[in-house]
Amino acid sequence: MNPDPAAATPARLPPGQLPGQPLTALAPMQDVTDLAFMRVIAHYGAPDYFFTEFFRVHAQSRPEKHILRALDENTTGRPIFAQLIGEDLTHLTRTVALLLRHPIAGIDLNLGCPAPKVYKKNVGGGLLREPARIDEILGALRAAVPGRLTVKMRLGFDDTRHLDRILDLVNRHGVDLLSVHGRTVKEMYRSEVRYDAIAHAVARVRCPVLANGNITSAARAAAVLRTTGAAGVMIGRHAIRNPWIFRQCRAQFAAADGFRPTLADVHEYVTRLYRETQVPGLAERLHVNKMKKYLNFVGQGVDPDGAFLQAMRRTESEAALFAVCDRHLLGAPTQAFALEPYPGLIARPNCETPAPLLPA
C-alpha cells in the first residue's frame, strides 16, 4: 500500500513513526495493556500510539497506580493516551486534572466497552444509549483538557440509531481522534464488523478516524483502510496473538516484505511475556492462568487442529506450561507461524467468532 499524502498526521496529533503512512494503535484492553505488555509489544515493533487500560472514574476513585506506571515508566518510545471510563462530570474533570500531572499524549473517553458489568453502570458502551449525556461529558472534558481529546466508541448500544448524532457531537466538541469499533455493544465480538459504518464515520467527522475490529493481519489492515478510508487502524487481540503485527503493517503500507515469524520466534515471545508479566508475590498458578489468557490468542496461529490450545489450557504450573510450549513450538522451530488465525480456532468461545474474509 503506497503512502497517501492525504494521510499525513494532523498537526494536533503526535507524529507517526513513518511520515505519510497510515497510523497504527494498540487498542486499550482491560487487564492486558499494562506497562509490561506495552514493553513487550514495543520490543517486537511498537505501534504509533498506545492507550492505557481505562481509569475507572467515580466519587471515590483515584487514578489506579498500576495504570499510572504505564505513563510514568514508559520506555516504549511512543506516546500513550490515558483512557477514562465514567459519566460523572465533576469526577471526570477532577481525574483529568490529576492525569495532566503525568506524561500523557491526551485523554481518551471510553464509549465502547461491551462488558455487561460496565454498561449496566451506564458507562463505557452503556452511554451510547444517551447522546445528550455524551454531549455533556464531551463538553466538560473539552473544557478540562488543554491538549488532545480522543474518543473510542462502538456503532451504538443495540442498534445504530444514535450514530450520526454522536458523530456530530465529536465534531461539535473538537475531538482530535476517533477510534471506531465496527460493532454495537450488544454484538460484543460475535458479529461481522461493519466496515461500511466505519467509512460513514470517516466521511462525517472532521478528525482522523482509526478503524477497529477484526484487524487480523497487516494485509487485512491494508484492506480495511482501502474499504473505510480511515487514517489508520487500531488493533487489539490480534496484537496479543502476533506482537509483530505493527512492524508488519509498516512494511505492508510501504509495499515491502514484512517479517515472517517462526514457531521458535513465538516461543521467545511467550518466554519474554512470561518473564515481563511476573509480579512479586503473585502465586505461580495465578501467573500461569494469566498467561493462558494471552496464549488463547497465540494458539490461533500455532497449528490448525488446535492441539497447542488444548494442551496449554490444561496446564497448571510453569513447568507444565513451558513443557507444552517446548513440544509444540520448538518441535518444528522453523515452521512458519500463521499470519491469520487458523479457521475455526476461537480464543474466547463465549464472546467471539472467527474473523470473516474481507474482499481484497
Distances (CA, A) of 159 to 126, 132, 171, 185: 12, 17, 21, 9
Q: Are 54 and 110 in contact (CB under 8 A)?
A: yes
Q: Are 189 and 216 in contact (CB under 8 A)?
A: no
Concatenated DSSP letters of 10-63 = PTTSPPPSSTTSPEEEEPP-TTTSSHHHHHHHHHHH--SEEEEEEEE-STT---
| Residue 207 appears among annotated catalytic residues | no
Within 8 A by CB and 6+ apart from 163, the residues are 155, 156, 197, 200, 201
Record the cell numbers describing residue 211, joined without a space.
478503524
- Helix, strand, coil tally for the chain in percent (to 5): 40, 15, 45
Q: Are 34 and 67 in contact (CB under 8 A)?
A: yes
* Total residues found in the chain within this entry: 360
Three-state SS for 234-297 is EECHHHHHCCCHHHHHHHHHCCCCCCCCEHHHHHHHHHHHHHHCCCCCCCHHHHHHHHHHHHHH
Q: What kind and span of H or E run contains 320?
A: helix 318-329
Any alpha helices (H) in 49-112, and if so which ranges?
65-72, 89-99
Q: Which entry of 113, 207, 249, 325 is annotated as an active-site residue?
A: 113
For CA atoms 33, 39, 44, 48, the dihedral sign is positive
Which positions are annotated as active-site residues?
113
